[in-house]
Structure 1
């Protein structure tokens, strides 16, 4: 059995977690490691990994995780996995404003519906379609803020943890992949590297029913009201700063002013069309 340190990939919803799953599965196959998807498998069955951590005791959890030879999914929230310092850990997040924007379209239109979750998801979809995007974003941001805060508390500033920005992976996937492999201290086959780089096509999909609807950064500026963006900037201030998503105050003020002006011009143009 391989003594290679196991890999844990943490992320959040709407941060290319499905694509990360494909990368990890191919990496596991190429390196002779075992890929495990606890969170996804339990969700498909209508169960929760979080409940195992909170209710079933440490012995069962300890038996679920091995410190060598395994690659563990992408987890979409923080879990206190035992002996995490022995793992190679990756945390990839996207700017929370873009996550919440994408989340609206996922909940309202594109999220897959397994039979075990059918009633719950259909009710959430019905509720989301009754709201405008800003209402749902304001409703959901405390949940995402808690998730990001836990990552900040438990995973930041640790030697065995690589912090990645989703936006960097989109703009330069080859460089991002190289950074991942350097952190993991692994050398997969040249054939796999070529396959992954050539297969990384981050194209915009305008169809609201598509799961990969919008992958380019900055979609929140096109979809959210200025006052909503201002509130999210305030609520996620610490995370935006640490990850490098925030801009200087003057620059941010100018950007929001330009956005307000653009929206006003759009309304004026629409009004002229009605005359």
Structure 2
């Protein structure tokens, strides 16, 4: 079936459910008839950073008929082509992202194969062995504020954008799917739901720090961080929390 409609790129941030959201979006876009060219899949074998690869890939991107996957970094600010595509933005409470990132980078994140990237990965993992979660969250809060500010700018300026929330994905999945279905114009038929299968099952029975899907319940920062840490990072992130309707 020939692909129809404008191309789509999803912009998000690390630890906002981007990996599984990408797979789900690809299934829905494929059912709609779009080609699938998930740029991020080229990152592990590339000698470029993720940002360099995405920015340079703009020359190859078509305005019609392709789903280009998820872009997880602030580098999307250097991708003016985003405004010529349809944009899907997925956000998550950045305080939960910081909590999740600590455990992921410290315990479960898969090492890259590229030697230079692996060296940087191992250095970060070694550093985190001697860093508390509160120290990590405090140090990284400004980075997440910057990432969300970039997403906010796209939402403000783009005339064809859908904003999704991780919290809806894991706790109100049918609502989240309905928003995607309406935006893409692809019904979630019984056949498509069967294809989605376990990808839309977000059940996690017990928390396990060694697993990529450690836990999914919103508000984990309140269970893991000290009150004074939450107050500090909430102040740093206040503008973005307010814009994306998270409680400050």
Q: TM-score, normalised by structure 1?
A: 0.80
The answer as to 2:76 corresponding to 1:75 is: no
Flag the 1:174–1:188 CA change in 2: closer, same or farther, 3 A.
closer
Counterpart contact for 1:13–1:76, Cα < 8 Å = yes
Flag the 1:62–1:208 CA change in 2: closer, same or farther, 3 A.
closer
Flag the 1:203–1:44 CA change in 2: closer, same or farther, 3 A.
farther
For residues 35 and 96 of structure 1, the distance between their equivalents in structure 2, rounded to whole angstroms, comes to 29
Counterpart in 2 of 1:233? 234
For residues 190 and 64 of structure 1, the distance between their equivalents in structure 2, rounded to whole angstroms, comes to 34
Superposed displacement of residue 3, structure 1: 3.4
Q: Structure 2 unaligned runs (5+)?
A: none
Q: Greater RCO between the two (CA within 8 Å, min separation 6)? A: 2
The answer as to 2:15 corresponding to 1:14 is: yes
Q: Matched residue of 1:72: which SS?
A: strand
For residues 217 and 140 of structure 2, the distance between their equivalents in structure 1, rounded to whole angstroms, comes to 21
Flag the 1:165–1:62 CA change in 2: closer, same or farther, 3 A.
closer
For residues 44 and 151 of structure 2, the distance between their equivalents in structure 1, rounded to whole angstroms, comes to 21
The answer as to 2:169 corresponding to 1:173 is: no
For residues 109 and 46 of structure 2, the distance between their equivalents in structure 1, rounded to whole angstroms, comes to 16
Superposed displacement of residue 114, structure 1: 2.0
Q: Spell out the pairing of 1:161-240 with structure 2 (5 A cutoff).
A: 161-187=161-187, 189-196=189-196, 199-204=199-204, 205-240=206-241
Counterpart in 1 of 2:113? 115
Cα shift readout 1:34-90 (whole Å, capped 9, x = no counterpart): 212223422443422423577xxxxx6442211111001111024143443342211
Q: TM-score, normalised by structure 2?
A: 0.88
Among 80, 84, 99, the alignment partner of 1:101 is 99
Moved over 6 A (4+): none
After superposition, the CA RMSD in angstroms is 2.1
Number of residue pairs matched by the alignment: 242
Q: Matched residue of 2:43: which SS?
A: helix
Q: Structure 1 unaligned runs (5+)?
A: 55-59, 248-275
